[in-house]
Amino acid sequence: MKKEQPTGSFADCGLRPALLAALKNLFTEPTPIQARVIPIANEGNDVVGIAQTGTGKTLAFGVPMMQILAQNGGQGLVLVPTRELAMQVEEMLLKVGKTFGLRLALIIGGASMNLQIKALQRNPHIIVATPGRLNDLMRQKKVDLQKIKIIVLDEADRMLDIGFMPQIKGILSQAPTDRQTMLFSATMPPEISQIAAQFMKQPLRIEIAPSGTTAEKVEQTVYFVESEKKKALLKKILQENQGTVLIFTRTKFGAKKLTFDVQKLGHSSAEIHSDRSLAQRKAALDGFKNGQYRVLIATDIAARGIDVKNIGLVINFDVPDQLQDYVHRIGRTGRAGGKGQAITFARPDQKYDILEIEKLIKKQIKVEKMPEDLSPEDFSKFYFRNEKPTGVMFAKKRRPGGFAKSNRFKKPFAKRKRAW
């Protein structure tokens, strides 16, 4: 894979006048990933784009897709991991393409399959789909991939994380081989390289930042806090910080319970996780965008599906199970080069998890001293009671009223380099 040098503006990308005019009305200049991908994608090259979340990858593949389809006909297919991200991609593409009659079909779970079949029958220019629902329609022979000229795998690493590899391979195998394929990801695990080798033709690699890089202007801090003091710490932070706050929990039960408790603290809040219907998730996200809710509590289903401007603070109420998700979580703030803040609550026995995150992002996270005026809350009605141990941290014995100690790492902490 080769690396390409960036260009300067949308005018340098060789775009059709109608497309260039639509972009100039909406955006002042391309982001780095857009400036580097659009010109070479316009030439029909396969592309592997590596960039952190919030860098403008949707237009990086959407603009050349619209350009090529307008010139050569056929259809484009965009595969994304979650319903939220699919709706976000649809919104952005229509924002640019509505002025020249762009037709899209949104194919996602949780919505009417009959309406989606009708949308496909209207011969859309671009299909935006999650792999699961698209495979369902393929098995029913309700979708024909033979018109597909361009395929995009967006947030490819996330699709692999949640088990879509078989569906992705099935879709790519049934699509015409004479096509252009673009793959975008924030990280580059070996499975992504395998997909590129198997299904792409000499792709050009465009890397804006090394895998695992976080946004430069996001201030990252961590509190080592006992479970019974997390709520009190959250209460203090919400009081001291103004603006919108996105909180990530490990489980959907935790998100539901924490939403209730944040509302009791007097903050308007909503929840978004896999137990919520598509309509409920959309209402929560729309309410967060328009200011109806100050706080949104989410599981990692939303780590890459939220594109909300000016999120001032992201709080990791729980350390993520997959440490790579840390990058995607905090990527919800400080988007497109802006400033942001990310705070992580880690239990004292999760210090090695933080060290692993620091190794991933190649940066030390500032350790904040716990406020002295915090006292344990009554947790009999709060988040941690009856909760299971985090991820793979299983142990036979549990401390009374709390989590079991982690036996995830065998290496003694005393041998690790960083002093806390």
Q: Give the tens place of pLDDT for each residue, 352-410.
A: 999 999 988 888 999 999 888 776 654 434 444 444 434 333 333 444 444 444 444 44
Instruction: Give the C-alpha separation, 171 to 167, whole Å.
Output: 6
Per-residue confidence band for 108, with pLDDT thresholds at 50, 70 and 90 = very high
Instruction: Give the C-alpha separation, 327 to 320, whole Å.
Output: 10
Residue 3, pLDDT > 90, answer no
DSSP label at 355? H
Instruction: Give the C-alpha separation, 306 to 302, whole Å.
Output: 6
List the one residue out of 42, 36, 37 whose CA is nearest residue 19.
42
Q: List, by residue range, all CATH 3.40.50.300 domains of the chain.
A: 10-207, 218-406
List the one residue out of 80, 95, 4 whose CA is nearest residue 42.
4
Give pLDDT, residue 216.
65
Give pLDDT, residue 156.
87
Residue 87, pLDDT > 50, answer yes
Which token pair is 72?
């050569």
**65 vs 32, residue with greater confidence:** 65
Give pLDDT, residue 375.
65
Query: CB–CB of 84/305 below 8 Å?
Result: yes
- Average pLDDT score over residue span 158-177: 89
Residue 48, pLDDT > 90, answer yes
Which token pair is 24?
């100039």
**260 vs 303, residue with greater confidence:** 260
Residue 266, pLDDT > 70, answer yes
**272 vs 337, residue with greater confidence:** 272
| Long-range CB pairs of 109-114, under 8 A, 24+ apart, other chains included | 109/83, 109/133, 109/278, 110/83, 110/277, 110/278, 111/83, 111/278, 113/137
Give pLDDT, residue 333.
80
Other CB atoms closer than 10 Å to residue 283's CB: what's the count? 16
Which token pair is 379?
């947790």
Give pLDDT, residue 331.
78
- Average pLDDT score over residue span 312-322: 91
Strand partners, 183: 48, 153
Per-residue confidence band for 211, with pLDDT thresholds at 50, 70 and 90 = low
Instruction: Give the C-alpha separation, 383 to 261, whole Å.
Output: 8
Give pLDDT, residue 262.
93
Dihedral sign computed on CA atoms, order 127, 131, 133, 136:
positive
* Mean pLDDT lowest among 211-215, 324-328, 335-339: 211-215
Give pLDDT, residue 152.
97
Instruction: Give the C-alpha separation, 264 to 320, whole Å.
Output: 25
Query: CB–CB of 126/65 below 8 Å?
Result: yes
Which token pair is 195?
């997909």
> Does domain 10-207 correspond to CATH entry 3.40.50.300?
yes
Which CATH architecture does the domain made up of 218-406 adopt? Answer: 3-Layer(aba) Sandwich (3.40)
Per-residue confidence band for 335, with pLDDT thresholds at 50, 70 and 90 = low
- Average pLDDT score over residue span 55-61: 89
Distance between alpha carbon 335 and the CA centroid of its chain, in Å? 12
